[in-house]
Amino acid sequence: MTVGRLGVVGAGTMGAGIAQLGCAAGIATVLHDPLPEALERGAANVRRELERWVEKGRVGEDALGLLDTAASLDGLAGCDLVIEAAPELPDLKRDLFRDLSRVCGSETILATNTSSIPVTSLASAAESPENVVGMHFFNPPPLMRLLEVIRAYQTGERALDVALEVGAAMGKETIVASDGPGFLVNRCGRPFYTEALRSLQERLATHEQIDRICRLGGGFRMGPFELMDLVGIDVGLAVAQSFTELSFGEPRWRPNPIQARMVAAGRLGRKSGRGYYDYDGPDEQPYRAEDPEPPAVGGGEGMAVAIVGDGVLADALRERARTAGYDLKAGAPAELVVDAGLTPAERPPAGAPLLALCADRALAARGEPGAVGFHLLPPLADCRLVELTRLPTTQTFAAEAAERFFGTLGFVCEWVGDAPGMVLGRSVCQLVNEAAFAIGEGVGSPDDVDTGLTLGLNHPRGAVAWSREIGLDHVVAVLDGLWETYREERYRVAPLLRRAALLDADLGAAL
């Protein structure tokens, strides 16, 4: 191990957690905070948590003896690595990097745990910028398995190696990202929030519906609005503003006026008792309703159904319908027609209620006034909800047929507004798109994108894995449909994604 002595600056939530990891990794660790009471509290937290780990047999008792505290920055002299976890203020951090350079000398690697300040700008404040690297831990550091190591413009190989080595010694999965807005993980996770806010803004669905759709349809543990409430809506707005500033106005990352309105109204989320949800109701009342249990698969009773179209989704729906007891027809005559991916040039068979997949177009753009639109994402084994949409002209019996059909296939039905990809498709396809932009721009590798999203943000699968499940053609169809509908730059397809779809290649293989 290259690092015999680790310094941690800032004894708050993150600093204390990082110091705990240092001691647990067997490294002599010095914790510093300029506020004596913060230092005392932080060190007490580290000792208490280490004692717990000793009791559980996760670390030996000697880990407790590895912690030292320093009331002044000078106490960090002689450290091989210093990780800074001070407040997220650019000037304060720049001053720290200047002072740490003076105290520690030219051999010490200086790392920052910043989540939004360009590491490049902090490296510039240090005397040896090549020794500066980002070590982005996730909250709470002792529990979250991911460490995102950030290579600033100036970061040298030695600094990168030390950060990766220490991360591994702390038991973390490490990924490497280049410097830029949100680095790799928070950047690739942005669309989960931005597109949910767009769906809400357009009144495609309510925030409760969007959260339910993401949980039941996408397998996300929490919906975007629950998460925004947890993180703080003011924090989310500040992050969006910082992305916009750092990217000189990238349209995908712009804040949404809904965020500004919530902040103006003082509805900041859990911490203020109210956000998108209400948290100060009677204790026995949960802030959101329980999710419905999907119906059992079955009840097709030999009804003749034609599921037409090519692609992963059409195949998966045919298989599910067969399991549910339907008599599958190749075309007319049928009692129900499901267009699950015909090209715009192909027409579904007439003479029966039509359920039409809304991927490349909204239902209104299909020229089928009586039809019902639907959207859902493979793999169907993990999908428990289908989104449905109707036009003012949709026949009631078609709407009833849609609910009955998808119910027998084991899906909860959620009625939403009309748009390509509807709610979940828009969010997930933009997650894939953002990942493709990031990979194409060299911010990180496809594997690191997926490791970051699953371990850092608890997504059910990474964006690259989603793209394999859904098929790049479907992703591109939804994004092009959104672009066609809104004519907004935010829905432009990433060059790498377009190329991979044209080559019928994996995102990583099209580089």
Ligand X SMILES: NC(=O)c1ccc[n+]([C@@H]2O[C@H](COP(=O)([O-])OP(=O)(O)OC[C@H]3O[C@@H](n4cnc5c(N)ncnc54)[C@H](O)[C@@H]3O)[C@@H](O)[C@H]2O)c1
Interaction site with ligand X (CB under 6 A)? 9-15, 33-35, 38, 85-88, 92, 96, 113-115, 137, 139
115 is catalytic: yes
Fill in the DSSP letter of residue 215. I
Nearer to ligand X among residue 146 and residue 313 (C-beta): 146
Amino acid type, 487: R
Residue from 45, 113, 115, 433 carrying the catalytic annotation? 115
Residue from 113, 128, 178, 186 carrying the catalytic annotation? 186
* Shortest separation between residue 116's beta carbon and ligand X, angstroms: 6
Are 196 and 36 spatial neighbours (Cβ–Cβ below 8 Å)?
A: no
Residues in a beta bridge with 373: 356, 389
Q: Are strands 385-390 and 372-375 parallel, antiparallel or unpaired?
A: antiparallel
Nearer to ligand X among residue 232 and residue 446 (C-beta): 232
* Shortest separation between residue 388's beta carbon and ligand X, angstroms: 37
Nearer to ligand X among residue 9 and residue 306 (C-beta): 9
* Shortest separation between residue 417's beta carbon and ligand X, angstroms: 34
Q: Nearest-CB residue to ligand X?
A: 12
Q: Which residues contact 209 (CB under 8 A, 6 or more apart)?
A: 414, 416, 423
Nearer to ligand X among residue 13 and residue 395 (C-beta): 13
Residues in a beta bridge with 31: 8, 69
Q: Which residues contact 345 (CB under 8 A, 6 or more apart)?
A: none
The Cα–Cα gap between 221 and 231 comes to: 15
Find tokens 């990794």 and name the residue: 25
* Shortest separation between residue 98's beta carbon and ligand X, angstroms: 12
Residues in a beta bridge with 357: 374
For the chain, counts of helices (H) and of strands (E): 19, 15
433 is catalytic: no
Nearer to ligand X among residue 43 and residue 317 (C-beta): 43
* Shortest separation between residue 458's beta carbon and ligand X, angstroms: 14
Residue from 32, 136, 207, 474 carrying the catalytic annotation? 136
Phi, psi dihedrals of residue 492, rounded to the nearest 5°: -70, 145
Q: Are strands 372-375 and 5-9 parallel, antiparallel or unpaired?
A: unpaired
Q: Which residues contact 258 (CB under 8 A, 6 or more apart)?
A: 197, 200, 201
Nearer to ligand X among residue 14 and residue 19 (C-beta): 14
The Cα–Cα gap between 369 and 486 comes to: 21
Residues in a beta bridge with 185: none
Q: Which helix (H) or strand (E) holds 150?
A: strand 146-151
Q: Which residues contact 261 (CB under 8 A, 6 or more apart)?
A: none
**Tokens standing for residue 414:** 């959620």
* Shortest separation between residue 5's beta carbon and ligand X, angstroms: 18
186 is catalytic: yes
* Shortest separation between residue 262's beta carbon and ligand X, angstroms: 20
Extended strands (E) in 179-228: none
The Cα–Cα gap between 250 and 116 comes to: 16
Residue from 45, 101, 131, 148 carrying the catalytic annotation? 148
* Shortest separation between residue 218's beta carbon and ligand X, angstroms: 24
Phi, psi dihedrals of residue 48, rounded to the nearest 5°: -60, -45
Task: Quickly list DSSP for 332-372.
Answer: SS-SEEEESS--TTS---SSS-EEEE-SSS-GGGGT-TT-E
Nearer to ligand X among residue 173 and residue 335 (C-beta): 173
The Cα–Cα gap between 444 and 496 comes to: 13
Nearer to ligand X among residue 19 and residue 423 (C-beta): 19
Question: What positions carry a catalytic annotation?
Answer: 115, 136, 148, 186
